Amino acid sequence: MKKIIFIVALCVFYAAGSAASFAQEKMPPEGWQHKSFEFDSVYGAGVNSAYRLLKGRKPAKTVTVALVGYGMDVEQRDLTGAIWKNPGEKPNGKDDDKNGYADDLHGWNFLGTPDGKSLNRLSRVGDREFFRLKDKYARYIFVGGKCYTLDSLAQQVMQVAPPDNRAEFDYFRNVVLPESPIGGRYVGVMFAKMVVAFVHDADSALRQKYPGKTLTKRDFEAVYDGFSPDTLTNYFAGSVQLLFMSVGRESWDAVRQFADTGYVQYQQKSYERRLRNTFLGERKYIGDNPYDINDRRYGNSNLASANAGQGVALAALIGARRSNGVGIDGVAEQVKIMSLRVDADLYGEPYMKDMALAIRYAASNGADIIQLGKTNAIYPQPWSAWVDDALRYAEQKGALVVIPMMDLSYNLDNKPFYPMRRTDGGELSNVITVAASDAGGNPYRTVNFSNTALDIFAPGVAIKTVAPGAQSAKAEVGGKGGKQVGVFESAEVIKSAAREEEEGCAIASGSELAAAIVSGVAALVKSYYPKIAPAEMRKLLMDTVTPRNDAEVEKSFVIYNNGVPGRQVKDVFMFKDLSVSGGILNAEKALTEAEKRYGK
């Protein structure tokens, strides 16, 4: 999954995530996310004009925004006065408010260890699911509607009865394996063994048909021409053609030798290399059972993790102190940021349990808005139900949940990412889904999209935000590869690095940034109209977008081949086909309409 992408540092260079530059077009004007098309000819969120509208008025409420994802530098200068403080807790090593979390002054680190350190590397959800289901399904293939496996004793591919739970098998093959690098390598080994078994059978058949002849690729193709009534034969014959390409010769003996001495061994080494670089068993350092939702006494209060920089970047966009001469101006003035860390920075994806408990913590502690971090194409039951239940709990508590829809170029109708509005228990009224747009009113070229699952666009491309020196400590304390070294971060190391290097700013892009702008605008509106319910806030923001319905825009999308996602290509879309609202967040219009609907 992609993270926030930081491109050009103004005071420090700050790079995070797996993608390269945003480079959509030219650099937009600084602070464009606060500008508006009406006054400035850029498709910002109209924050500046919203404040002109509010001039002379005082907010009625301080709004709490919970960031579920990264760590936080609670001493960052541009966030002075904007960090949430737990009113029932004291820094004394005790659980003063009896909520199960000792010293949770500003939030909680669900990746914290008992000795006060912080886990900085997680496994991927796909890999976790692969190892859970590997022994049940990895040995099977389906060809022509029939199920086959390898008889390891006879070294023959044989037809067998399909797995009893076909739905789970399809989930394993079609959802888990594409999201599991280690799973792909393992299945490659299993498949290679089947191909070798086929080569042995083909060798016997060819020598019987052409006794005493030096066999060639042409001889193989004369027998295995792809038109056999046996679909399995055609299937493996195609794979043998790839073996001819691998050996670079048309000699059948060379293919046979490679099959006997190199093919499986190559796949096995590839799997073993990946296995060494696959981080598993991380929860032993935390000390909990990640598959027991009732095991809740874990983590620590250390929020100063290596990915605190990403948390600060989002928090600054939401609530950095305005006009203080430091860093940037946030969207909302009367806001407090609560931090709940569930995501490691170096590698991996959050656990469902951590996400569910973080959402519940936020809702229980009065968060008005909860912004989530990574979404995922894998949402395994029964653990995903914990997240859905937590979202419903937040709905009951009156919290709006803002979810970025990631930047991977998928049509969400073909490949959903979770969590989202629709759940097995029905549609959630308090969830709004967000993707990034640029100053020209175009979608970030790699955003996921859908006119049913994606609600709204908001500024999220080439935005200036805060990039604290804390991020520079990542190289010192982060792990490499699959070695279990550098797995932890020390709060002392992080804070020391942060104070030694001047805090700076950076240009960043990504839908998590767009979500922060939505969270900020929602907080701004909520601070003046505190009685707005989450469902009403979602509708208000979507009803008052800057419309782009009829605009033609270019973006990338993933094409599918026989139901399997393939390469990315570019095409022209109508903006109305990319989201439900067909427009871009507009704070001024939202406040104007809020006054009509909810004013005195």
Q: Which domains are delineated in the chain?
A: 5-19+31-123+293-526+585-598 (3.40.50.200), 125-276 (no CATH)
| CA separation for the pair 140, 156 (Å, rounded) | 13
What confidence score (pLDDT) does residue 486 get? 32
For the cut 90, the answer to whether the pLDDT of residue 495 exceeds it is no
| CA separation for the pair 284, 353 (Å, rounded) | 15
Q: What is the pLDDT of residues 20-58, one digit of tens each?
A: 233 444 789 999 999 999 999 999 999 999 999 999 999
491, with CB counted inside 10 A (0-12, 13-18, 19+), is buried
Average pLDDT of the chain to the nearest whole number: 87
Q: DSSP 3-state helix, strand, coil percentages of the chain (rounded to 5)?
A: 40, 20, 45
* Cβ contact 117:96 at 8 Å: no
In order of 189, 458, 514, 516, 548, the CA distances from 581 in angstroms are 47, 11, 15, 18, 9
* Cβ contact 371:431 at 8 Å: no
Lowest pLDDT segment from 48-52, 282-286, 500-504, 594-598: 500-504
* Cβ contact 354:111 at 8 Å: yes
pTM equals 0.88
Say which residue the tokens 């099977």 belong to: 140
Token duo for residue 190: 């299993």
CB atoms within 10 A of CB 163: 16
Length of the chain, in residues = 600
Q: What is the pLDDT of residues 204-246, one digit of tens each?
A: 999 999 999 999 999 999 998 877 777 888 889 999 999 999 9
Give phi and psi for 112, each to the nearest 5.
Answer: -80, 150
